[in-house]
Every structure is written in C-alpha cells, then in structure tokens.
Structure 1
C-alpha cells in the first residue's frame, strides 16, 4: 500500500482496526483519526488507511457528507 495524505474531515477506513474514522490531522508519520460517534482518537499508519466508500460510511452510520 502507498502512503496517502488525506484532508482533515475525510472519512477513512483503518484496515488495522476495521473502523471508519474522521481524519483530524497528521502527527509525525501517522494520521490521527476520531471515532464517528465519539471516543478517544487513535493514530493510524497512513499505509493502512484508505478513503471509505459510501457503503462503508453508511454502515458506520454516516448519512450525509459535510460540505
């Protein structure tokens, strides 16, 4: 997998955890993700993160995108 940079607010899938998270920023080599329904942020390896397709976003409870 290649290292990708995602904008703040993007919804991504962390392959390590199997969770969809919201990109909050980047710290060192990692991307910081926030759980969609609250909870503690976590750091993810950018090589293990990809944009979440609509089907995964719906399954995670996202009903509409922010502008």
Structure 2
C-alpha cells in the first residue's frame, strides 16, 4: 500500500501522461513511479504528477497484442 495517493498501487496499470505510454506499476523509487511495458521490457521512471489510471480498454488491447505476439513466436 502506498502512502502517497498520487502513486498507483504496485501491480496495477498506469498511463504516463507525458507521452501516453501504458505500463505496469513496478514500484516507487526516489520519488518516481517505475513503470514497465505490458509484456515486459525496460522500466522507465515517471513523476507521480504525470501518472494516472490506465483505461481498461487500452490495457486489454495491449495485453491481447502481447498474447498474440507470444502465440506467433511459438514453434509449430
């Protein structure tokens, strides 16, 4: 649980309003929210004032895209 209500809970999805990127909240370090792209990848830092709840439809779209990518990479 976070002490700062501006910081989303770890494990939830958030949008970085600076560029519209959506990521999973990995934690808060040094006063910055750490986000990771859906499906993995390099984390990035976002000021708490620039992060907000990600729209459920956008999260679903990105998760489906990632699942489709994984299925296509499987050997047949």
Q: Which TM-score band (shorter chain)?
A: 0.7 to 0.9
Question: TM-score w.r.t. structure 2 length?
Answer: 0.69
How many aligned residue pairs are there? 60
Q: Of 30, 34, 37, which aligns to 1:28? A: 30
Unpaired stretches in structure 1, ≥5 consecutive residues: 63-67
Q: Of 50, 55, 58, which aligns to 1:56? A: 58
Q: Normalized per residue, which structure has more helix?
A: 2
CA-atom RMSD, angstroms? 1.5
Structure ID, larger Rg: 2
After superposing on structure 2, the runs of 4+ consecutive aligned residues of structure 1 that deviate more than 6 Å are none
